[in-house]
Amino acid sequence: MCTKILLIAICCCLCVPVVAAETVDALSVRVTELEKANYVLHEDLARARIELNIAISMLQDTISKLDTKIDTLQQKTLIELKEQLKKLEETGQKKYDDLQAGMKKLEETHQKKFDDLQADMQKQHDDLENEITNKTKQTQDEIATMLKQIRENQEMNNRLDKLEAIVQQIQDFLPLSSNGTIGHRRNPGPVTLMNQPKVEQFRLKIENKMNGIIAVSRDQGITWQPVGHVLTPTEKLGVEEKLPPNWSLAGSVASTAVNSISIRTSYDKATQTGTVFYLLPAQKKSENREPLANLPASMQAAAIQTDMPTAKGIFGDTLTPFQGNPVYLAVNDDMKPLSAIAKYTPTKGDVFIISVQQLKNMPQTYTFENTYGGFVKARDWQNHETIIGQVLVPVRGIGPLADTAGTGVGRLSSSKNGTLDISVRAQGNPGGFRLVLCTEDNKEEVTKARFSNSCMVVSEFYASDPSWQGMAPLFMGYLHPRYSEDDFKGADYMTRLGERVGVEFKVDNGEFGGFPPNLMGADQQLPKTADIAMEHITGIRIDCPVPPRS
């Protein structure tokens, strides 16, 4: 209505001519329509606002409900998590308790095993002490019996004092045995020493027939160089009775000396007998000694006589084998171990092959303290020293050992069953002393040695140590007679000198050196002071060969 009045006023002011009635009505109708449209628009807008408010209100209710649900869900989840955490804590505590119980049970089990082991070790220790005590008492009883017999003979009073000293030394030495030694490594044992790698130095071939060739090969049998001949073959075997087991293996070199080599073909443990045959050097017409005379009559036929002189070639010279070297029978182009042939007997035409093998890791020296209870020590090439044994009876003099005449002063003349013979006089003059191993199976030899001034009795250091019987380091595989006056000759003199086995002596705890010349005697007969010739010798050292190259 206001709009209509405004239009009329404007027309009047402008002096516009009066519009026709139809135009005015049309405008009025248009104005009315616009007013209606405006009204409808306001109503729609008001309705829309109401609906929007309703929607906002509903949305707020929905949000409120969602917040409520979220709070409820959070509280429920929190409660569930707390319950799960509580269950986990309870489960973990149970497992921890179970683990603690298991560890306690395991500790109890280990403690019981430890207690049982300690008790068993204590029992073994007690048994060993009882055994040592019993053996000591038995030894003391045996020595006491000997002393009683010696007391009945006034001429043996001086030996009575020595035997009483032996008893005292044994009593004094036993605590040292059980406590061990300080500052020295333990002996690795004969089995360990024997199982070291071996290097073949050369091979020897002996044809068992008249004028049979004795030859050497340094290329494992490809080529052979003759070094001697067989004068007399053999078709028989000798029998060694009361032979202790393990002195040497069947089918091997049983002993080496400057005047003989023995080869064992078999051994019967039940009867303690072994079968052997011998290799002997040539017999000089001017020589008073007869090698065959050292053998029983029943065994003389079991010897192969060679044309090699004493202390030459295979007898104490550069071609000497070691104890324990294997012996083979050559059959066509094959080598059959002699030990694998049952009841073997030599036949004319048989060809023997000796594989001369040397242990790869050789000691440098063996030292013997020449006193009751003295140490036997081995020194390696890194100058590490090991106590390997003890001296039960020291040596005080020298005796007329037959094989010592074949070599020189300070030389090893033989390596046999449990004995080593060492010469202290010039070649051609018999005289030396003997190292004897003390074992249960060697009682007869040991008993003789105890009453002989020219013998040194040795044994293992600990009572629990394995026996040296037929084993390294002294009585198998390490030492052999080896000396030649020609070692300084030729371009290979350094090698030949390194292969030697020498023996040095210490006088009154001085330095090691040669045997004192004033104690040897110049004649073939032993000097009158032979029985006490070594009473001032306080140490004996055996210088071993240089280890072989691979």
242 with 329, same domain: the answer is: yes
Distance CA 202, CA 547 (A): 15
Omega before 473 within 30 of 0, i.e. cis = yes
Residues 207 and 352 in one domain: yes
Position 394 confidence tier, pLDDT thresholds 50, 70, 90: very high
Do 109 and 238 lie in one domain? The reply is no
Integer angstrom CA distances of residue 363 from 131, 193, 385, 419, 476: 33, 10, 10, 19, 13
pLDDT (0 to 100) of residue 160: 58
CA-CA distances (angstroms) from residue 476 to 133, 198, 210? 31, 13, 32
Domain for residue 140, yes or no? no
Range of the domain at 281: 198-359
Assess whether 466 and 439 both reside in one domain: yes
pLDDT, residue 311, reads 86
* pLDDT confidence tier of residue 521, bands split at 50, 70 and 90: low
CA-wise closest residue to 346 among 242, 282, 228, 264: 264
Q: What's the pTM value of the predicted model, to 2 decimals?
A: 0.62
Q: Is residue 487 part of a domain?
A: yes
Mean predicted confidence (pLDDT) in 242-247: 67
The reply to whether 370 and 518 lie within a common domain is yes
| Three-class DSSP category at 139 | helix
Helix H, strand E, coil C: the string for 209-269 is CCCCEEEEECCCCCCCEEEEEEEECCCCCEEECCCCCCCCCCCEEEEEECCEEEEEEEEEC
Q: Which one of 325, 359, 393 terminates a domain?
A: 359
In this structure, the strands spanning 260-268 and 252-257 are antiparallel
Instruction: For residue 312, tell me if it sits in a domain.
Output: yes
Residue 138 inside a domain? The answer is no
pLDDT at 181: 37
pLDDT of residue 177: 35
CA dihedral (517, 518, 522, 524) positive or negative: negative
User: Does residue 441 share a domain with residue 370?
Assistant: yes
Pair (282, 323) in one structural domain:
yes
Band (pLDDT 50/70/90 cuts) for residue 470 is low
Structure confidence at residue 374 (pLDDT): 93
Please tell me whether residues 189 and 102 are part of one structural domain: no
Same domain, 82 and 220: no
User: What is the reported pLDDT for 163?
Assistant: 61
In a domain, 175, yes or no: no
Longest Cα–Cα distance in the chain: 192
Name the token pair of 237: 């075997």
Reported as a pLDDT band with limits 50, 70 and 90, residue 418 is confident
Same-domain pairing of 98 and 205:
no
Among 118, 138, 159, identify where a domain stops: 118
In this structure, are residues 508 and 324 in contact, taking their beta carbons and an 8 Å threshold?
A: no
Q: Are the CB atoms for 358 and 199 separated by under 8 Å? A: yes
Encode 71-91: b = buried (16+ Cβ within 10 Å), e = exposed. Answer: eeeeeeeeeeeeeeeeeeeee
Average pLDDT of the chain? Answer: 80
Q: Which is more confident, 243 or 220?
A: 220
d(CA 360, CA 362): 6
Q: What is the pLDDT of residues 370-384, one digit of tens each?
A: 999 999 998 988 888
Q: Across 11-25, 237-251, 313-327, which has the greatest mean pLDDT?
A: 313-327
Assigned domain for 141 exists: no
Amino acid at 434: R
On whether both 351 and 373 belong to a single domain, the answer is no
Domain boundary among 344, 359, 374: 359
pLDDT digits (tens, 9 = 90+) for 68-113: 888 888 888 889 888 888 888 888 888 888 888 888 888 888 888 8
Interval 421-428 mean pLDDT: 84
Domain contains 7: no
What pairing do the DSSP bridges indicate for beta strands 432-437 and 455-460? parallel
pLDDT at 80: 87
**550: in domain:** no
Are 436 and 353 in a shared domain? Answer: no
Number of domains in the chain: 3
Share of the chain above pLDDT 70, in %: 80
Cβ neighbours, 10 Å, residue 263 = 27
Question: Higher-confidence residue: 251 or 362?
Answer: 251
pLDDT (tens digit per residue) in 218-235: 999 999 999 999 999 999
pLDDT band with cut points at 50, 70 and 90 for residue 495: confident
pLDDT surpassing 70 at residue 198: yes
Q: Are 165 and 392 in contact (CB under 8 A)?
A: no
